[in-house]
Amino acid sequence: MSLIHKTAAELGALIAAGEVSSVEVAEAHLDRMAEAEPKINAFLHVDRETTLAQARVVDDRLRSGERLGPLAGVPVAHKDIFATRDMPTTAASKILEGWRPPYDATVTGRLREAGLVILGKTNLDEFAMGSSTENSAYGVTRNPWDLTRVPGGSSGGSSAAVAAYEAPLSTGTDTGGSIRQPASVTGIVGMKPTYGGSSRYGLIAFASSLDTPGPFARNVLDAALLQEAFSGHDPLDSTSIDAPVPSVVEAARTADVAGMRIGVVKEFAGEGYQPGVLARFHEVVQLLESLGAKVVEVSCPSFATALPAYYLIAPSECSSNLARFDAMRYGLRVGDDGTRSAEEVMALTRAAGFGPEVKRRIMLGTYALSSGYYDAYYGQAQKVRTVISREFEAAFHQVDALVSPTTPTTAFPIGERADDPIAMYLADLCTIPSNLAGNAAISVPCGLADEDGLPVGLQIMAPVLGDDRCYRVGAAVEKALESRWGGGLLSKAPAL
Ligand code: GLN
């Protein structure tokens, strides 16, 4: 088996044993990228020399006897919304074109310390606003299962890179579903940790009360290894949780649901869902039962109000966060010819630098926060958020974990929803409640839809700081299904 087809855990073990070098592993992936990128366009920035130089340093550290973590020498691709001190960081926006941060985000810095090698920066919807990567200022990313379809979003470059074997691991951020939905539609694993369980320091902010960094991988254990490597309290992030990190790797190895109580969210399966998605979902619920879980139906009626509440809260926070792009401090500056005021330069720069979806969100948020409307929109949405958190709490008194489809449909065709924001927003119908409540949730592949042969994801939601439960249930599903599929779901993906 070639290096690119190995799991991250296997690669880490081979490198630790000295059977293969980090440089060789990085080269194999860079070669794969050279072959796949003309079709996929998952990466915004690749720099072979910087990557190989990092790999050489890790090889030297290991040779000198330094003890690094289980992923030392393994490559990772970062969503281009995490600051990286040796690579540009753009958030896929023209307004940050050419910006090179002078520092690392906590996530990228911790992974660098643990010996992971950065393969490059991946594409996304501009400032992580979208569900398809079509809002990137640098072109769409294509789904490796079908090049005419989207890879999900906003972390679509990260999901496509892993699904196309360009990277064994990648990072993403999930504000409303941006890790779980792209993982679901590309047939891989994607996890949104508990809010505050992974640091936001050095992450370009979209909606600060929701933004959550998390891992992508082709299997549950690899995702757990990556999450464990960057998790833990960070004094540089004021909302970082100062509590022991859930043992996610151990949970992924446990892979056992016997005796667990699992709730099916009644509201998340019915009208508007693709039949093939529902068919796979109902099958996997039966599978959980056959593995010894006690499955019950749980009603969470307020989840239906999560989407509108999110589209008030997230734009409100973004309208404030994006005020920092003022043409003075970072990236683009338009019209600064000595004749214009700072205010005019700022207006020209923001008009030229932000794409249409970002402008829509800034206007929505500014409106929702304006005096006279604040209580009716933002204030009301915050109340809905509280009700949703309480409903989760009540549900988790009854069950250990909740399940639903990750997203109502499989990957949609490029262009299909580009002019229909509401249709685009609906991709996150099932994922948004966990962002509003801050609890942990994962998407694991559960099969292919009959209509189109495209991947379907199962979402597993667990309480705040119950990340280990997501991995435990996810690994059990993976183990049971893999023996049926033989060779994993991605082996069914058409070769590029
Ligand atoms: N698709 C959602 C949005 O456009 C979620 C994005 C995200 O999680 N970053 O806001």
Write the CATH number for 218. 3.90.1300.10
pLDDT cut 70: percent of the chain above it = 100
408 pLDDT above the threshold of 80? yes
Examine the residue annotation and report whether 154 is marked as an active-site residue of this protein: yes
**How many C-beta neighbours within 10 Å does residue 272 have?**
9
Atom of ligand 1 nearest to the CA of 129: 4
129 CA from centroid of ligand 1 (Å): 5
Contacts for 366 with CB less than 8 Å, ≥ 6 apart? 319
> What would the mean pLDDT of 178-188 be, rounded to a whole number?
98
Please give the backbone phi and psi of residue 427, each rounded to the nearest 5 degrees, phi first: -60, -25
Q: Is 343 left (phi over 0), alpha (psi -120 to 50) or beta?
A: alpha
Q: Which of 207, 150, 171, 166 is nearest to 418 (CA)?
A: 150
Q: Give the DSSP H/E element, type plus range, for residue 36.
A: helix 22-40
Q: Which two tokens stand for residue 78?
A: 């970062």
Average pLDDT along the chain: 96
pLDDT per residue as tens digits for the range 211-251: 999 999 999 999 999 999 999 999 999 999 999 999 999 99
Q: For residue 78, give its domain range.
A: 3-299+390-492
Long-range contacts of 252-255 (CB under 8 A, 24+ apart): 252/220, 252/221, 252/223, 252/224, 252/471, 252/472, 252/474, 252/475, 253/221, 253/475, 254/472, 254/475, 255/220, 255/472, 255/475, 255/476, 255/478, 255/479
What is the total count of domains within the chain?
1
Q: Please identify which of the residues 21, 93, 178, 316 carries the catalytic annotation.
A: 178
Identity at 470, one-letter amino acid code: C
Measured CA to CA, the distance from residue 320 to residue 208 in angstroms comes to: 10
Most informative mutation of 136, 155, 175 for ligand 1 (most atoms within 8 A of CB): 175
Residue with tokens 């003309």: 38
Q: Which of 400, 422, 434, 403 is nearest to 179 (CA)?
A: 434
Q: Does 375 reside within a domain?
A: no
Most informative mutation of 135, 154, 316, 362 for ligand 1 (most atoms within 8 A of CB): 154
The crossing angle, in degrees rounded to 10, of helices 306-321 and 380-398 is 130
Q: Give the DSSP H/E element, type plus range, for residue 455.
A: strand 455-462
- Cβ pair 51, 78 in contact under 8 A: no
Q: Does 309 reside within a domain?
A: no
Q: Give the number of C-alpha atoms closer than 13 A to the C-alpha of residue 384, restricted to the C-beta side.
A: 25
Measured CA to CA, the distance from residue 467 to residue 478 in angstroms comes to: 17
Q: Does 143 reside within a domain?
A: yes
260 CA from centroid of ligand 1 (Å): 31
Examine the residue annotation and report whether 434 is marked as an active-site residue of this protein: no
Cβ 134 under 6 angstroms from ligand 1: no
**How many C-beta neighbours within 10 Å does residue 393 have?**
13
Atom of ligand 1 nearest to the CA of 131: 1
Q: Can you give the pLDDT at residue 487?
A: 67
Contacts for 418 with CB less than 8 Å, ≥ 6 apart? 132, 134, 424
Q: Can you give the pLDDT at residue 152?
A: 98
Q: Does 95 reside within a domain?
A: yes
Q: Which of 184, 175, 125, 151 is nearest to 408 (CA)?
A: 184
Q: Can you give the pLDDT at residue 489?
A: 82
CA dihedral sign of residues 401, 402, 405, 407: negative
> What would the mean pLDDT of 165-191 be, rounded to a whole number?
98
Measured CA to CA, the distance from residue 478 to residue 106 in angstroms comes to: 30
Task: Indicate the pLDDT class of residue 359, thresholds 50, 70 and 90.
Answer: very high
Find residue 401's DSSP bridge partners.
262
Atom of ligand 1 nearest to the CA of 207: 9
483 pLDDT above the threshold of 90? no
Q: Can you give the pLDDT at residue 495?
A: 66
- Cβ pair 174, 154 in contact under 8 A: no
Q: Does 104 reside within a domain?
A: yes
pLDDT per residue as tens digits for the range 288-320: 999 999 999 999 999 999 999 999 999 999 999
Task: Indicate the pLDDT class of residue 269, thresholds 50, 70 and 90.
Answer: confident
162 CA from centroid of ligand 1 (Å): 20
Examine the residue annotation and report whether 158 is marked as an active-site residue of this protein: no
Q: Can you give the pLDDT at residue 154?
A: 98
428 CA from centroid of ligand 1 (Å): 7
Most informative mutation of 79, 131, 136, 179 for ligand 1 (most atoms within 8 A of CB): 131
Cβ 319 under 6 angstroms from ligand 1: no
Q: Can you give the pLDDT at residue 490?
A: 82
Q: Give the number of C-alpha atoms closer than 13 A to the C-alpha of residue 137, restricted to the C-beta side.
A: 18
311 CA from centroid of ligand 1 (Å): 9
Q: Can you give the pLDDT at residue 98?
A: 86
> What would the mean pLDDT of 30-56 be, rounded to a whole number?
98
pLDDT per residue as tens digits for the range 79-98: 999 999 999 999 999 999 98
Atom of ligand 1 nearest to the CA of 357: 4
Q: Does 139 reside within a domain?
A: yes
Q: Is 488 left (phi over 0), alpha (psi -120 to 50) or beta?
A: left
Atom of ligand 1 nearest to the CA of 435: 8
171 pLDDT above the threshold of 90? yes
Cβ 314 under 6 angstroms from ligand 1: yes
Q: Does 359 reside within a domain?
A: no
Please give the backbone phi and psi of residue 445, each rounded to the nearest 5 degrees, phi first: -65, 140
CA dihedral sign of residues 75, 79, 84, 87: positive
Q: Does 168 reside within a domain?
A: yes
From residue 451, alpha-carbon distances to 149, 335, 448, 456, 486 in Å are 15, 52, 9, 12, 22
> Do β-strands 440-448 and 455-462 pair in parallel, antiparallel, or remain unpaired?
antiparallel
Q: Which of 216, 105, 108, 109 is nearest to 168 (CA)?
A: 216
Task: Indicate the pLDDT class of residue 492, thresholds 50, 70 and 90.
Answer: confident
Most informative mutation of 122, 178, 204, 432 for ligand 1 (most atoms within 8 A of CB): 178
Measured CA to CA, the distance from residue 33 to residue 1 in angstroms comes to: 18
Higher pLDDT, 114 or 485: 114
Contacts for 19 with CB less than 8 Å, ≥ 6 apart? none
Q: Please identify which of the residues 136, 154, 199, 434 carries the catalytic annotation.
A: 154
